[in-house]
Structure 1
């Protein structure tokens, strides 16, 4: 994750300097969505288009009455592999997404824009780093530490030099720490500094750079495995 964090910061620097370019020009990316419109994939679509890619939003629904002997997922994967350079399985159940990843022969992302995706962890840590924390800065983590997202965040934060504390019965509070990460409200985490809530706009911008970085790792380098560097582990 630290490599993605560093690459995202470099991508941001290049873009601000006007030297980012459109390295995905001519590439085609498919977003597999559910039967209902999903507005929250717009940031991913925007991130890909800013890199020059063409983005197609495809509705994905599995038949309630599968035909015996017909491999619909395998056929879909092969078609996607012929038509697109990468696929994001936004609304696809895990078993089908991994089947597509196995047979499509192109990078397959597992809900890159979702809050639960590790791209969000990298973006949040990038945001905290942008606030210029002092040496030995600490993060008070509040919420369930047993989720994959929490585990990834805590591990990466420690690797970056943060001290991670937990709010037990007699644990610290915000006045004793540099930042507070409140993960108690489901998928939406709140970030607070000693001066108040962290700017949501900054978080969104950094999420943009991280998603772009992961798209580039998978598509430009042509490594399907790179798309899964920080994906959920297959059950």
Structure 2
């Protein structure tokens, strides 16, 4: 997935949005287990990520943030590898990007760096989607496109 060129995720998001509006969105992530590492389960970004993934049939498990910039290399390695064995992908929210990069190196599965956060570039890409649909629906479809680009 390239965060430099949003054209492919946007095109896929348009298709997903049309399918959702027609009531024909398929559970393309059925059987996938996603780990959501975040401080608050009811935060806006956590809820958006969960909604996007579950609408595609994925199971999302919320995990508290246990790593920090002060975590030892061994602790990061051990935690990331365990998460990689338990989940098909991991969404890290409320974590420093350098720490997320360290987890990504060790997990062996896709690791997202707060793709559901309002500050993530995907939030802007969603506003650039044309066609019918609310801004929330467009954001949801774009997140789904990003998930599918890594997991389907």
**TM-score under structure 1 length normalisation:** 0.58
* Structure 2: distance between partners of 1:58 and 1:3: 30
Matched, 1:20 2:25: yes
Deviation at 1:16, TM superposition (A): 2.5
CA contact (8 A) 2:41 2:62 kept: no
Deviation at 1:122, TM superposition (A): 1.2
| DSSP-derived class of the 1:130 partner | coil
* Structure 2: distance between partners of 1:89 and 1:20: 26
In structure 2, runs of 5+ residues without a counterpart are 1-5
How many residue pairs get matched?
146
The higher radius of gyration belongs to 1
- More strand, by proportion: 1
In structure 1, runs of 5+ residues without a counterpart are 132-200, 221-235
Q: For residue 232 of structure 1, what is the aligned residue in structure 2?
A: none
CA contact (8 A) 2:122 2:142 kept: yes
Q: For residue 58 of structure 2, what is the aligned residue in structure 1?
A: 53
Moved over 6 A (4+): none
- More helix, by proportion: 2
Task: For residues 4-54 of structure 1, give each alpha carbon's deviation from its aligned partner in whole angstroms, at most 9, with x where no partner exists.
Answer: 1111001111223333210111100011112x4442110110110010000
Deviation at 1:62, TM superposition (A): 3.2
* Structure 1: distance between partners of 2:79 and 2:67: 11
